[in-house]
Amino acid sequence: MDMEKIVSLCRRRGFLFQSSEIYGGLNGFWDYGPLGVELKRNVKEAWWRDMVTQHDDLDVLPGAPSTYEMCGLDCTIIMHPQVWKCSGHFDLFVDEMVDCRETKKRYRYDQVRGRWAEAKGQKLFVCTMAENEEEEIARRAQKFFKLRAKDADQIAWDGPITTLDKIGDTSQALGPDASEPGTLTEPRDFNLMFPTIIGALAGEEGRAFLRPETAQGIFVNFKNVLDSSRVRIPFGIAQVGKSFRNEITPRNFTFRSREFEQMEIEFFCHPKTSKEWYQFWRDRRFKWYIDHGLAEGRLQLRDHDPDELSHYSTGTADIEYAFPFLAEGEFGELEGIAHRGDFDLRSHMEGKLDPKSCPLEVELGEDGKPKYKGSGRDLTYRDDLTNERFTPHVIEPSAGADRATLAFICEAYTEDEAPDDKGKMQTRTVMKLHPRLAPLKAAVLPLVKKDGMPEVAKDLYRALKAKFPVFYDEKGAVGRRYRRQDEAGTPYCITIDGDTLSDKTVTLRDRDSLEQIRVKLDDVVEEIESRVG
RNA sequence: GCGGGUGUAGCUCAAUGGUAGAGCAAUAGCCUUCCAAGCUAAAGACGAGGGUUCGAUUCCCUUCACCCGCUCCA
């Protein structure tokens, strides 16, 4: 399917606009129009109802190890800066990068390693990114100085192998893939987190960040929820909200936006059962997308390879969708389900843990003290039946609301053939959205604007409108009105015709099959209600 | 961030160094009795900034956005 057509329809029908469009737009930011906002609200609402408000605390769900409880949370976008230091985002998101002018490659400034080498009257810092750095640096230096292997000892090495950021000058560096020195740019900050300032006076002490994920707000409120809500482990805390990431290359419509909305759950359980809960969430979340209309053939549940995983995690799986803007066989992430062990709660308790340590230990700074101090609060859990105290393990199903919405849009976009008024087949563009997600549930259309039809139609419109979003349209040919609703994804059209006035029935037209059935006027509300769930 | 391409009305396209034209859509009205193209009317655009010029949508520079490829993707 052609992505341009989908983008064009989104714009034309008011699903999605570029942010600040009249000023030329802003890269990586998108606005939802009148139809888009309803669609996205429905996506979030469906998620919230299915995961939180309609969750049955008393019943064991299929595949679940036991019953569990669910509750919600809505925390601030700006949090204490220490949150991001202990979560690891600060170190990971605030990087200095250097670009190579020659090869157009980009490197983390602190990850490029090299060593000073001097030969034939020239001195330079030979860099590499390779694992076997010592021989690679020697090989590259030898090649650069055009020395034979037997003359390799003409190279005078100065100092140990170190990282590029320690030498502070990129102009004498031979980039890891470059053929001559001086092609690396000066290091530049890549603030993947959006910095902001708290308070009217600018200064380092007021520096804060817009959250890059909603999850940390759940961890830092873990104890509050426990103390205020009588929930017992296992339980989950859900949150929907905006997050911000300064993506290097926003691309592919709303897929990689800098401001986006997440639907996240942190599910807290006993370490002994965490593996089973991980399986449960992974399968349940995959099914959710299928239940809402994504084709199984375009959806995949990809388990991360064991060597991709942190040692404290027993699994991470991505739910991925074959977006039309991706190459054949490629998938884009909709949701990640991660087994995070006790990493997050312990980091906020003890201080940022070193994810590479095993068993996990607090990461220390150069002074031997914790690099980032934790809150010092006790975030362990005491089971008051067994009296056991432990730090819960966490399963994190983290979904992108905008990505899910985009996937539903892409999946729904369909071109098929429908006859025009002369019986000739015409291309029809239709958004086959799941009725639960469709922005409008029905349209009420008087066949013609006379003979009392609009009056009957308006009464029906009002009766339906009390229950859900409905559109009334009496203008122009009815076929044209049908097609308009098809592009909006409205699953049902109800047409009031001459017969309605005598026998009190209307036609109910199905968006996807184009079938029409007669329904009693008095039954329409109930009929639509049952069909849209 | 790099390279290539694109930018005229809501959409598709046209013309021009001298006040930008059409089709479709949308709007108002008429006509219509179930799947977009019946009639009438009015409305609507040169992405932004700067330069050259008497005059720039057109030529030049810069910038912004989108598309493709690379890079990045915690």
Specify the nucleotide whose C1' lies closest to residue A253 (CA). Answer: B66
| pLDDT tier, A102 (very low <50, low <70, confident <90, very high otherwise) | low
Q: Helix axis angle, A401-412 relative to A3-12, nearest 10°?
A: 100
Average pLDDT on A191-215 reads 83
Average pLDDT on A86-97 reads 79
Q: What's the pLDDT score for residue A250?
A: 82
A326 CB less than 7 Å from any atom of strand B: no
Q: Is the pLDDT of residue A438 over 70?
A: yes
Residue A477 corresponds to which tokens in the numbers above? 């040919």
Pick the range with the lowest mean pLDDT from A118-132, A172-186, A277-291, A499-513. A172-186
Pick the range with the lowest mean pLDDT from A191-195, A199-203, A293-297, A496-500. A199-203
Question: Residues of A from 409 to 468 whose C-beta is within 7 A of strand B: which are they?
Answer: 418-422, 424, 426, 428-429, 447-451
Q: Provide, in whole angstroms, the distance separating residue A27's CA from nucleotide B54's C1'.
A: 40
Long-range contacts of A468-471 (CB under 8 A, 24+ apart): A468/A441, A468/A442, A468/A528, A468/A529, A468/A532, A469/A38, A469/A439, A469/A440, A469/A441, A470/A440, A470/A441, A470/A442, A470/A443, A470/A444, A471/A440, A471/A442, A471/A443, A471/A444
Q: What is the pLDDT of residues A407-428, one digit of tens each?
A: 999 999 998 887 777 777 778 8
pTM of this structure = 0.87
Average pLDDT on A22-34 reads 89
Instruction: Looking at A292-400, list the stretches that DSSP marks H as alpha helix, in order from N- to C-terminal side.
Output: 343-350
Peptide bond just before A439 cis, omega within 30 deg: no
Average pLDDT on A35-43 reads 95
| DSSP track, A114-145 | EEEEEETTEEEEEEE--SSHHHHHHHHHHHHT
Question: Residues of A from 7 to 26 whose C-beta is within 7 A of strand B: which are they?
Answer: 7-8, 11-12, 18, 24-26
ipTM surpasses cut 0.90: no
CA distances (Å), origin A253, targets A24, A316, A328, A438, A502: 16, 26, 18, 20, 50
Question: Residues of A from 362 to 391 whose C-beta is within 7 A of strand B: which are they?
Answer: none
Q: Is the pLDDT of residue A319 over 90?
A: yes
Q: Provide, in whole angstroms, the distance separating residue A260's CA from nucleotide B68's C1'.
A: 25
Specify the nucleotide whose C1' lies closest to residue A8 (CA). Answer: B11
Q: Provide, in whole angstroms, the distance separating residue A266's CA from nucleotide B4's C1'.
A: 45
Q: What's the pLDDT score for residue A190?
A: 67
The set of strand B positions with any atom below 7 Å of a protein CB reads 1-2, 7, 10-12, 25-28, 30-38, 47-48, 64-74
